[in-house]
Structure 1
Amino acid sequence: MRILAAMSGGVDSAVAAARAVEAGHDVVGVHLALSRAGGTLRTGSRGCCTIEDAMDARRAADRLGIPFYVWDFSERFRDDVIDDFVAEYKAGRTPNPCMRCNERIKFAALLERAVELGFDAVCTGHYASLVETTDGLELHRASDAAKDQSYVLGVLTAEQLAHTYFPLGSTPSKALVRAEAAERGLSVAQKPDSHDICFIPDGDTRGWLAEKVGSETGDIVDASGAVVGVHDGAHAYTVGQRRGLRLGVPASDGKPRFVLEVRPVSNTVVVGPKEALAIAEIAGARFSWAGRAPSALEFSCDVQIRAHADPVPASASLTSGELVVRPETPFEGVAPGQTAVLYDGTRVIGQFTIDRTLSAVPAGV
């Protein structure tokens, strides 16, 4: 196959490209320039799109003896990921920019261009597995549960899966990937993993959002509407947050309070007891299937609401254009804007963006 290897400059994508070459594929490496600031430098292990990362990717490609290019996707990244991130926070939701990047950049914009140029598939260093069955291609969890990235790939459609290649899915551990990189003479063998939000390299999400959204003081209220504190900007708060509330009025029971809701229109943050974070139902109209769609309008599944959360057994149903999920045990601290990924064992069924939640605690309790 003709393979376009997306090379971030990290060890995973370098080893994935090496395995594609070793498997006999015709491989070309590409690094995506996503930052508008071309001279951006890496800070520790934060970020994945810096000038150093581009150079690391080039060195890996040279070591593998494959052609290498840098493609400027910064404008598309700004429009589809950064602007979306800001808009979601303005609306009081909690977005996942990594999901949007996979959905709209790596497996939409990049894949579209790859197919146009005659490539059969895009290769990445994600830890996930593709399984060919009589019912079609399936996306499954990686063999290394600690590194499994199937959650952030849940946005991929059947058509996109047909043009993807994940060489690391069956690797038992990240340590083995690093050892393999060292054996292959790849300079990124011990490079730290990137983490946090790549376009906020200093990790100060609150400060970054304040510059983009602005900071306007507002009320922090309890469930009855009574004012219990003041905030410096609702965008800085997320559902489930406990720290940094600086409440002026203590709870009557003396227990800590948590953010239950962010209301951007009124610039209000609602707080309450931990018990009120329990969610009995989540739902969303923006859903997709990773391969074949469920054969029934109601089905059982496991649901994961964060990249490293444990899956929760649940029932799901398609009702009036909405995907509704009810967990066997309530979720805790779920916010609109988060992504819920549905599984059948290790297989990814699909995903949806959470538009609304239903509390497990009766109103007034």
Structure 2
Amino acid sequence: MNVLLAMSGGIDSSVAALSLLRENAAVRGIFLKMHDKHVTEEERVQEICDVLGIPLRTLDVRDLFSDRILQPFLEEYGRGFTPNPCVLCNAEVKFAVLFRFAHLENADYVATGHYATCAVVSGDVGIFRGTDEKKDQSYMLYRLRKEWLPSLLFPLGTQHKRDVVRISQAHFGNLFSSVKESQDICFLPSGTLRNYLEKALSEMPDGEIVSLDGKTLGRHGGLFRYTIGQREGLGLSGGPWFVVAVDAMANKVVVGERKDLDVSVIQCTRSNWLVSAPERHEPHCAQFRYRCRPVRCTFTLHADDHFVVTPEDPVEGVAPGQSLVLYQGDRLLGGGIIEKTVRRNRS
């Protein structure tokens, strides 16, 4: 089989390539140059492909990445949301480009080093959680197109990270000794997300920090500095205070007590399903952040791309802009972008 494999220059994609080669696949590497940080990584990717004995093709998609991911990322923060750019990048840039190129090159499959699995259930191909619970990345894949699934391969889906590291050391020696584990947001330059946002959104106006009953408690230095559940950096007396809402229309940060973080309803938009629209009466679990614990829930589908999730018990730290992803058992059903939450009624 002919496989087009996304190469990042890290351990995971390199061991994925090795696994495919051991299955006698004809592997071709492809490196997507999505931002300026990737310019310095291209040489390492080439070195890995030389060790593996596979060809490498580099595609410069920086303009596409800037248009589809980077600019919307900054716009979302500007309106008080907390976006996850990696989720959108997978669907709108990475896999979209990979499948377009695979079609041009007549490749049978597209593969990546994600920790997730593809399997056929009752004749239907689905994405499932990876075997290694601590590394499972299925959450990041919910926006992929359903028609891509039959041509997807995840060679690391049934492996644990410790075994991947062991295989890497046995085959590549110290090649990755100076390579750090990839961070969640790959395009950040040296420094933190806060530093990056402060430079990009420095012209955002300051405004009021208010309590739930509207009392002014202090000033904020730009909405992008705040996210739901935040406690540190508020500079307020009394408390402890937690950010419970970011009101972009009024340019206000709303704070409350810890109990005020509890939400009982989560409204989502921009839904994407990898199965036929899931049935409400079936048991489901919702995951509203990449590394959060899944919670049991019910949900209601609407005629458009909206759906509403009701957790069995109230949950806290749910931020608009993040993705809410639904599972049935280990199977990834789909999800959407959190648009609004309703706080728990304590009356």
TM-score, normalised relative to structure 2: 0.94
Matched residue of 2:172: which SS? coil
Residue deviations 1:186-235, cap 9 Å, x none? 65444321114222132422232223222422110011111101111111
Residues 343 and 203 of structure 1: is their aligned pair in 2 closer, same or farther, counting only changes over 3 Å?
farther
Partner of 1:56 in structure 2? 44
Partner of 1:6 in structure 2? 6
Question: Which of 293, 297, 306 is equivalent to 1:310?
Answer: 293
The answer as to whether partners of 2:79 and 2:223 remain within 8 angstroms in 1 is no
Matched residue of 1:331: which SS? coil
Runs of 4+ in 1 over 6 A off after TM superposition: none
Q: 1:92-107 counterparts in 2 under 5 A? A: 92-107=80-95
Question: Which of 165, 173, 178 is equivalent to 2:165?
Answer: 178
The answer as to whether partners of 1:219 and 1:227 remain within 8 angstroms in 2 is yes
d(CA) in 2 for partners of 1:198, 1:285: 25
The answer as to whether partners of 1:299 and 1:317 remain within 8 angstroms in 2 is no
d(CA) in 2 for partners of 1:187, 1:60: 12
Residues 315 and 176 of structure 1: is their aligned pair in 2 closer, same or farther, counting only changes over 3 Å?
same
Residues 288 and 196 of structure 1: is their aligned pair in 2 closer, same or farther, counting only changes over 3 Å?
closer
Partner of 1:238 in structure 2? 227
Per the TM alignment, residue 12 of structure 1 is displaced from its structure 2 partner at its CA by 0.1
d(CA) in 2 for partners of 1:148, 1:189: 22
Per the TM alignment, residue 320 of structure 1 is displaced from its structure 2 partner at its CA by 4.0
**Structure 1: 5+ residue stretches without partners:** 41-48
d(CA) in 1 for partners of 2:280, 2:287: 20
Residue deviations 1:29-65, cap 9 Å, x none? 1111111x3xx4xxxxxxxx351x3222111111111
d(CA) in 2 for partners of 1:169, 1:127: 5
Question: Which of 237, 256, 259 is equivalent to 2:243?
Answer: 259
The answer as to whether partners of 1:218 and 1:268 remain within 8 angstroms in 2 is yes
d(CA) in 1 for partners of 2:342, 2:320: 11
Task: Determine whether 1:358 maps to 2:346.
Answer: no
Partner of 1:165 in structure 2? 153
The answer as to whether partners of 1:96 and 1:339 remain within 8 angstroms in 2 is yes
Residue deviations 1:240-294, cap 9 Å, x none? 10000001x52xxxx4110011112322111011111101111222111123432
Residues 311 and 66 of structure 1: is their aligned pair in 2 closer, same or farther, counting only changes over 3 Å?
same
Deviates most, 283-292 or 322-331: 283-292
Task: Determine whether 1:344 maps to 2:328.
Answer: yes
Letter in 2 for 1:195: Q
**Structure 2: 5+ residue stretches without partners:** none
Residues 186 and 104 of structure 1: is their aligned pair in 2 closer, same or farther, counting only changes over 3 Å?
farther
Residues 334 and 164 of structure 1: is their aligned pair in 2 closer, same or farther, counting only changes over 3 Å?
same
How many percent identity over aligned positions? 37
Letter in 2 for 1:313: R
d(CA) in 1 for partners of 2:101, 2:25: 19
Partner of 2:273 in structure 1? 289
TM-score, normalised relative to structure 1: 0.90
Residue deviations 1:125-167, cap 9 Å, x none? 1000111122410111111101111111121232122221100
Letter in 1 for 2:118: L
Matched residue of 2:283: which SS? strand
Matched residue of 1:162: which SS? helix
d(CA) in 2 for partners of 1:186, 1:156: 34
Q: 1:1-365 counterparts in 2 under 5 A? A: 1-35=1-35, 37=36, 40=37, 49-51=38-40, 53-171=41-159, 173-185=160-172, 187-190=174-177, 191-213=179-201, 214-247=203-236, 249-250=237-238, 255-294=239-278, 296=279, 298-321=281-304, 322-362=306-346
Per the TM alignment, residue 174 of structure 1 is displaced from its structure 2 partner at its CA by 1.0
Matched residue of 2:167: which SS? helix
Partner of 1:44 in structure 2? none
Per the TM alignment, residue 78 of structure 1 is displaced from its structure 2 partner at its CA by 0.7
Residues 185 and 195 of structure 1: is their aligned pair in 2 closer, same or farther, counting only changes over 3 Å?
same
Residue deviations 1:95-124, cap 9 Å, x none? 001101111111112222222321222111
d(CA) in 2 for partners of 1:27, 1:196: 27
Letter in 1 for 2:3: I
Residue deviations 1:5-45, cap 9 Å, x none? 1000000000101111221222111111111x3xx4xxxxx
